[in-house]
Amino acid sequence: MAATTSGVTAGEPLLRVEALALHYRTRQGAVRAVDGLTFDVKRGEALVVLGESGCGKSSLARALMRLHPRNLAHHGGRVWLGETPVSELSDERFRREVQWSRMALVMQASMNALNPVVKVGEQVAEPLRELKRWPRRRALARAAELFQRVGLPVDFMARYPFELSGGMRQRAVLAMALVAEPELVILDEPTSALDVLTQAAIMNVLKEIKRDQGTSFILITHDVATSSELADRVALMYAGELVETCSAERFFTAPAHPYSRMLMESVPRLHERRRPRPIAGQPPSLLSPPAGCRFAPRCPERFARCAEPPPAFAPGAGEGADEGRHRVRCWLHEADRKETP
Amino acid sequence: MTTETPLVEARGLHTWFELRQWGFLRVGAVRAVDDVSFTLARGEAVAFVGESGCGKSSLVRTLLGLHRPTAGEVRGEGRDLASLKGAELKAWRARVGYVQQDPFGALPPFLDVRRILAEPLRVHGVRDRAERERRIRAALAEVHLTPVEEYLGKFPHMLSGGQQQRVVIARALILEPALVIADEPVSMLDASVRVEILELLRGIQRDRGLTLAFVTHDLATVRHYAERIFVLYAGKVVESAPVEALLDAPEHPYTRALLRVLSDPDAANATRLREVPPGEPPSLIDPPAGCRFHPRCPKAIGGRCEVEVPSEVATAPGRRVACWLYAPERE
């Protein structure tokens, strides 16, 4: 049995996000990709943002990193990283003081975004030279440490991206994201383009970094099985909103929101004979989501109240590993404490 | 034709792609499928499982008659596919339906659903318009795109991913094939839709008694949707077995490695370091001698695994594994 640590680290909130919104302008109208998300991530904690394609989970990463497309219609909400009110910073200060140095992003296809004519080692060292003005030699020495960290032979630093396989390039990108020692790393589908064994190897690297360095992670994925490979907590997104946020333990065994439960039942299992059950219907368009609960049209448990948008309820404060952080956006939990906003 | 003939029989099948320099100099070959033999019975559902680049798509495309085998043969309903020409080849292609991975890419964007489904009928000589319309409606109903009238005039971009994939399936079924090949039919779809599409394919396979050959990289999806699995690694079948037996007790070290890194969703996974064999799948241009998994195999037998290619050994009824660990003692 490999060495393990306790799953949940009781740290301070590192990242606090309130009513985060990101809307895009299209010919048909505004697409409300991220529509009022409130959550936090503690130090050393991994939050998995789970959701189907088009639910706005990648837009969440873009909103946090301020990587705005040209058709941006609205970016709102408040974000704190430690004591820093990130959302108050100018773009210039955000770039200089937060982006990459304190908060880094690895995207799904970032392994294909390496510069083809620059040696991989130089690219991994670049954030240190650009952001921290480290001399080349020192930055390269640090990059070499990161190569070992992510399981790449140090002599690969002198190679060009085309000389590495997809899995190795993804490791290099991970090294680049980690080199400036950010407190928070956002991973958007970091392994979905890779093979099963390579995926497992990369998840191993992430688990070790989390265990040894106490880095916080936001892992964005559509894959429930992958999500359980890193999650301390799970935040499930549906149609631009968070429908449930809770500990991984609760999410994988007894989630509260009907969508969470149905999603868990739709996952094909390797070792269980129970047949997976599909969820009938489709997610709504983000151009004109339903006025009430956005899952209501597909929900077998809907009732009259669901015509109004449900707030986030906080059921059973203080239970187990959830420490009162469990949130469910569903009228079935109306009896529970209401959380604002 | 007797019912004894297997629907598909591959013997010593090789599908290699030649590499050339300056357009004519032969400098090697990508050995995508390298000495693979199997039979598919009528009415069974099988899955070909493997990582990207293991040759699984090349294998099924050879069954379709899209690639000509470099060596060995594929028999479809008893006839060597390589010998088929013109009308005969066309007739075989009508016996095989193909469901592609990316439904949006597989559907012509400028045709509506009715014309997309009419195309195969026209090509295969269904001249009567009313007959075509009848079959198009029946196909849409079979994939549960109802009411049919609502979908006939739609263009692919007006449909969701799941609906697009249903149209692709309807198109694959419309000529009443004996074999349906589904190449990663759900990997581009969302979790909640995946199961729907897999259930649909499996349901149609059972109702019509056709053979379903389904290609996937995801072992978790095979339990309920196939009866037999073939595990491919670097162009070769390393293990084949009934689904349950393989998932519950894998034999080949590669299959075991795969099943060791996969598990069902569980909060404890987050702190579990997985045992991953070192290295990466080999190049198919210059694969390792002997067993192709030997450089990564924790159980490799020195002096044997890197020298000789293991042949398939039957370890139980319907179960074969290509590994020296299971070879009967020699001498």
What is the value of pTM for the model shown? Answer: 0.89
Residue-wise pLDDT for A2-54, tens only, equals 333 444 445 679 999 999 999 999 988 899 999 999 999 999 999 999 998 88
Burial class (CB in 10 A: 0-12, 13-18, 19+), A272: exposed
Collect all residues of chain B within an 8 Å Cβ-Cβ radius of residue A264: 265
Residue-wise pLDDT for B207-226, tens only, equals 999 999 999 988 888 888 99
Residues A90 and A44 in one domain: yes
Residues A128 and A254 in one domain: no
∠ CA B1-B4-B5 to the nearest 5 degrees?
65
| Residues of B within an 8 Å Cβ radius of A | 51-52, 160-162, 190-196, 198-199, 217, 219-221, 223-224, 247-248, 257-259, 261-277, 280-281
Residues A90 and A194 in one domain: yes
Residue-wise pLDDT for B65-97, tens only, equals 888 899 999 999 989 988 888 899 899 999 999
Is A222 within 8 Å of B190 when comparing Cβ atoms?
Answer: yes
Closest residue, chain A, to B254 (C-alpha): A197
The Cα B57–Cα B63 span in angstroms is: 10
Most confident of the ranges A266-280, B22-36, B141-155: B141-155
B141 CA: distance to closest CA in chain A (Å): 17
Residues A24 and A151 in one domain: no
**Least confident among B20-34, B174-188, B244-258:** B20-34
In a domain? residue A302: no
Is A196 within 8 Å of B195 when comparing Cβ atoms?
Answer: no
In a domain? residue A214: yes
The Cα A308–Cα A311 span in angstroms is: 9
In a domain? residue A76: yes
Residues A201 and A172 in one domain: no
Residue-wise pLDDT for A75-131, tens only, equals 999 999 999 999 999 999 999 899 999 999 998 777 788 999 999 999 999 999 988
Element (H, E) at B142: helix B129-142
For A131, the 3-state DSSP assignment is helix
Is B192 within 8 Å of A227 when comparing Cβ atoms?
Answer: no
Instruction: Tell me if A286 sits within 8 A of A56, measured CB to CB.
Output: yes
* Sheet with A241-247, edge to edge strand ranges: A103-106, A184-188, A216-221, A46-50, A233-238, A241-247, A327-328, A312-314, A337-339
In a domain? residue A126: yes
Beta bridge mates, A237:
A242
Give the count of beta carbons closer than 10 Å to the beta carbon of residue B125. 8
Indicate whether this complex's ipTM tops 0.90.
no
Token pair for A220: 């964005």
Output the domain CATH number for residue A51: 3.40.50.300
The Cα B70–Cα B153 span in angstroms is: 43
The Cα B38–Cα B46 span in angstroms is: 11
Q: At what angle do helices B161-173 and B129-142 cross, to 10 degrees?
A: 130
Element (H, E) at B133: helix B129-142
In a domain? residue A96: yes
Q: In this complex, which of A52, A53, A228 lies closest to B269 when CB atoms are compared?
A: A228
Residues A192 and A286 in one domain: yes
E-strand ranges in A110-196 read: 184-188
Burial class (CB in 10 A: 0-12, 13-18, 19+), B242: middle
Number of cross-chain residue pairs from A and B with Cβ atoms under 8 Å apart:
139
Beta bridge mates, B66:
none
- For every residue of A251-302, DSSP letters joined together read HHH--SSHHHHHHHHHS--SS--SPP-PPPS-PPPSSS--SS-TTGGG-TT-
A162 CA: distance to closest CA in chain B (Å): 15
B222 CA: distance to closest CA in chain A (Å): 8
Collect all residues of chain A within an 8 Å Cβ-Cβ radius of residue B220: 225, 267-270
Collect all residues of chain B within an 8 Å Cβ-Cβ radius of residue A282: 160, 162, 193
Q: In this complex, which of A203, A247, A266 lies closest to B191 when CB atoms are compared?
A: A266
| Test mutation, A270, A275, A279, A298, chain B, max B CBs within 10 A | A270
Structural Rg of chain B based on CA atoms: 21
Residue-wise pLDDT for B127-166, tens only, equals 999 999 999 999 999 999 989 999 999 999 999 888 999 9
Count the domains in chain A: 2
Q: How far is CA B138 from CA B87, B108, B132, B143, B161, in A?
A: 26, 21, 10, 9, 21
Residues A199 and A170 in one domain: no
Structural domain including A168 reads 111-181
Token pair for B217: 């990289």
Residues A175 and A234 in one domain: no
* Sheet with A29-42, edge to edge strand ranges: A29-42, A13-26, A72-81, A84-85
For A177, the 3-state DSSP assignment is helix
Residues A176 and A208 in one domain: no
